[in-house]
A and B are shown apart, each in its own frame.
Chain A
């Protein structure tokens, strides 16, 4: 082991630091605009939220600076203890936290309130990097896999107990990290496929075309084509695909002619075709003795099973407000004054900004408090309204550059620990960005998580600063230790 001390000033990634500073300062101006009160025209009123956020920002700078001065090895060494400390805090929080807007995630100490869940992301990122970065770790080994999943699911469970569903959802980010570190791609694919099936089934669950339930029909068609698509992936049997398609077309033609005279449920036709395809795969399995075909059959059958259980999941496992939010996003219920109020007003705010926005401090939607939570989860509205399309795209692009930069930085690390931690940081930022802005512009359901560096709040700003600057510190000394 050799130590080669480098000056942090020279080795730190200044691009990331500059983007961080721009985002944080833009965030402060957004909060100032969002909380600006017509009644009190005092520009520098530090008792308000803008003033408080200024304190959070300055303290974050100090934290960031301090983190850069800490030895980079410490994180590797103390990862487990940090994790343990946060888990302890999460547990304590469950018992002592007061109920604030239905969530029990705040530790209140006098005038200061912190949300341990925000710091849990950092701690989990460290421990995941530590565990997966171990030389003997192999994600394909069941024991190793379960260890890392255990470290991830423990904070998720504790955060769920605090009724902070949004914060728990952020841990999906680790799936991306695990994908980078060798988790089979099929897991990511299956997950996305399941979401797609879910959306289709829920969106069209109430529609019936003639005698055919639309959601079920579309889901089955999707499964059928993906199953055949998987077959197409294997060059050896690709030549069989046209035959299957001929059979499908033939059956559909016959069914189509019949349907002119009798209306019937087309799902049976698709199920019949699926069964035929599965039988054909089974025949191929016997012929070639390749387990791939069994996996494809498994995929098809599981998918059908999942499709038919969506309704059950939706109706029984989700809470009413979650169901409502999903239904609003999918456009099943249109209730701009009730369930859809937030998103509707948020879209109005953003949409009314036009190309270049109404100008700083001129946003009527935000000034007049039409968007609830406009300084926290819905802070992006202020940018959309006052800075328009140009401003909002600029923010998105800045985040995009930041995330890609983090990925590239992670890739240049020489130790697995640092690379995995870097990916964790990039993934967490990405999930926050995707969920928060997706919600504000009406693409994803309303899930209350903050937009990094923009949303008001000390805990989240501190947590994101720590997350980022620890990685910058690790990156700055990437050459120190080989």
Chain B
């Protein structure tokens, strides 16, 4: 045997130890990778799974008579998954989709910019171009295989049967950062309702997106469905809506309002359903569809007459004399006056600052006559009597009481119309005046005739007409009559009472009837031979120039079918423009046509141009 100068047994142990240590280190590393770090699972899933979104078709809308208003048409988006892109013939791609190379590069930079596109990941499909034309789709579809990383996503976009009711229907557009932040349902490039019914019924209309989980190999090729589609979710179509709008009436109203600023709203008093809602100027809803969206939108946004603004809901104006009806009701309910109380008027009110005037009419008048003749003094006396009445304890308490009546009649707060953008208007209370300084009945008196601090939105005025037509209650106005497989929100199904005795409403109704056909009535223009119309004019003084012309009405007087208001900015006296508009609208709705005897009136209104000079930007 060899003599050893080393210890073989120890060397064996060292070698075994080395092997054990290496294996132990590897086991520790495996533990770190497989057990401690959950990220690898996510990364592997991101590699392998390609979640393809399946878009549901958006609900369609039809009018109250079943006419289809909004439906869908196919559209094609170009999507890109950045990590799968490779070098390719950029020029031929740009040619296929009609964009410049600069725009191509800029678009890629935009997509990769995390500031503008916070959800960016090179693994997730990004929207590169939206809504290709059919021709571009055809060209691109044939050559898409040449552009790795790019693919075409089928979408649907809106198509409109009529160029009307843009403000009611609203439009859809790509979800912005806020939409995505508020609701995780949305991804970049998704379409979301921005205004109108499209927005307020977004959740019902959009349905539920589905997903198809596909497997993708290292070269980006799709290798079929993951586990035979077990994890796929089918999209659920959006719900169809039936609107309460009568598209024929809407169309007629828009034609009457052409070249004028203002609004026409009609409500079916028995249900609160909005029959038409015209805001002028308006636009063709189909101009905000597809790739012309951006161009059209900016044109509309920069238009000084603000066609995108829904004046019916978002404009607030001094209501003028139509407000007198609310005062009469309040004074009667509070026993400030009776139906026999008469006040004198000699071309004005003798008290108060600047002696508020009135026009010539018989004197003295009871409430019915005061409404019929629109006497200012009557309501000044009435409000003064209310504010100075000792039973309230103080003038401030009296003012608050007054305000409560106004609020109960639907003013001062948004009514809750199922459309976005409704303004609350302004109904002052005691505190409001006290904050401004000393006040008394004289300094605030003009609110009695719908001037001064008081402002209402057109929908609130129309709702007032509906409330009077119903003799004391109203349904919250709404434009959606029926939702497929679902019921309306309960707030649209329950009547809201004003708390004022229906008897007092009869007095007001008589006054409004007087205005149409009584002696000295302010709106004889609304007197239709075979329909008992009740109405009240308003003429609102304002800072923008000529008075706004306002008229609210309902018809027939007994069993009212329609309550409506028309409002023409700078249209002069109520009788000048608003009254004939309502006359035509009532006939259009109740008779279905305009009698030959009124044809001249229709022509006159359609040809009237009332556009105040505005300072054009640029």
- Chain A residues near B (Cβ < 8 Å): 38-39, 135, 140, 176, 179-180, 182, 185, 337, 345, 347-355, 364-365, 367-370, 384-385, 388-389, 392-393, 396-397, 399-400, 403-404, 407, 411, 416, 423, 430, 433-434, 437-438, 441-443
Contacts and interface: CB of A to CB of B under 8 A. Distances in A.
Interface in B48-78: 48-49
B27 A351 contact: no
Contact of B39 (A185, A351, A433): A351
Contacts of A434: 22
B44 A135 contact: no
Q: Which 6 A-B pairs have the closest CB atoms?
A: A351-B40, A352-B44, A364-B48, A368-B217, A351-B33, A389-B34
Contact of B15 (A182, A407, A441): A407
A272 B218 CA distance: 55
A443 B25 CA distance: 9
B33 A368 contact: no
Contacts of B35: 354-355, 389
A348 B49 CA distance: 14
B19 A430 contact: yes
Contacts of A443: 25-26, 29
Nearest to B49: A364
Given A384-B34, A407-B15, A347 B27 contact: no
22 contacts: A140-B5, A176-B18, A179-B14, A180-B11, A347-B33, A348-B47, A349-B44, A351-B41, A354-B41, A355-B35, A364-B44, A368-B218, A369-B217, A384-B33, A389-B35, A392-B30, A397-B23, A400-B19, A423-B15, A434-B22, A441-B30, A443-B29
Given A176-B15, A355-B35, 19 more contacts: A135-B2, A179-B14, A182-B6, A345-B47, A348-B40, A352-B40, A368-B47, A368-B217, A368-B223, A384-B34, A392-B30, A396-B23, A404-B16, A404-B20, A407-B12, A407-B16, A423-B15, A433-B22, A443-B26
A179 B15 contact: yes
A347 B40 contact: yes
B8 to A, nearest CB: 7
A399 B23 contact: yes
A384 B30 contact: yes
B220 to A, nearest CB: 10
B353 interface: no
Contacts of A399: 23
B215 to A, nearest CB: 6
A350 B33 contact: yes
A350 B26 CA distance: 12
B487 interface: no
Contacts of B223: 38-39, 368
Interface string B368-404: 0000000000000000000000000000000000000
A411 to B, nearest CB: 6
A434 B6 CA distance: 27
Interface of B is mostly: helix
A140 B8 CA distance: 15
B40 A38 contact: no
A348 B12 contact: no
Interface of B: 2, 4-6, 8, 11-12, 14-16, 18-20, 22-23, 25-27, 29-31, 33-35, 37, 39-41, 43-45, 47-49, 83, 215-219, 223-224
Contact of B33 (A180, A364, A397, A441): A441
A368 B215 contact: yes
Nearest to A372: B218
B41 A352 contact: yes
B47 A365 contact: yes
Contacts of B29: 441-443
Nearest to A184: B6
B34 A388 contact: yes
A350 B39 CA distance: 11
Contact of A393 (B15, B30, B218): B30
A411 B40 contact: no
A170 to B, nearest CB: 15
A404 B18 CA distance: 11
A398 to B, nearest CB: 11
A171 B26 CA distance: 22
Nearest to B34: A389
Given A351-B33, A364-B49, A438 B12 contact: no
Looking at B27, B39, B219, which has the most chain A CB atoms within 10 Å of its CB?
B27
Nearest to A136: B2
B26 A441 contact: yes
A135 B39 CA distance: 58
A279 to B, nearest CB: 32
A423 B22 CA distance: 17
Contacts of B48: 364-365, 367-368, 370
B218 A38 contact: no
A399 B19 CA distance: 10
A351 B8 CA distance: 40
B221 to A, nearest CB: 9
B44 A365 contact: yes
Contacts of A368: 47-48, 215-218, 223
A180 B12 contact: yes
Nearest to B215: A368
Contacts of A354: 34-35, 41
B497 to A, nearest CB: 65
B34 A353 contact: yes
Nearest to B40: A351
A388 B30 CA distance: 9
A38 B225 CA distance: 11
Contacts of A407: 12, 15-16, 19
Nearest to B224: A38
Nearest to B43: A348
B32 to A, nearest CB: 9
Looking at A135, A355, A393, which has the most chain B CB atoms within 10 Å of its CB?
A393
B196 to A, nearest CB: 45
Looking at A355, A364, A397, A407, which has the most chain B CB atoms within 10 Å of its CB?
A364
Contact of A350 (B2, B20, B40, B45): B40
A180 B15 contact: yes
Looking at B15, B29, B41, B219, which has the most chain A CB atoms within 10 Å of its CB?
B15
Contacts of A385: 44
Contacts of A438: 22, 26
Nearest to A443: B29
A370 B19 contact: no
Contacts of B22: 430, 433-434, 438
A348 to B, nearest CB: 5
Nearest to A419: B8
A404 B19 contact: yes
A385 B47 CA distance: 14
B148 to A, nearest CB: 15
Nearest to B22: A434
Contacts of B4: 182
Contacts of A355: 34-35
A338 to B, nearest CB: 13
A84 to B, nearest CB: 28
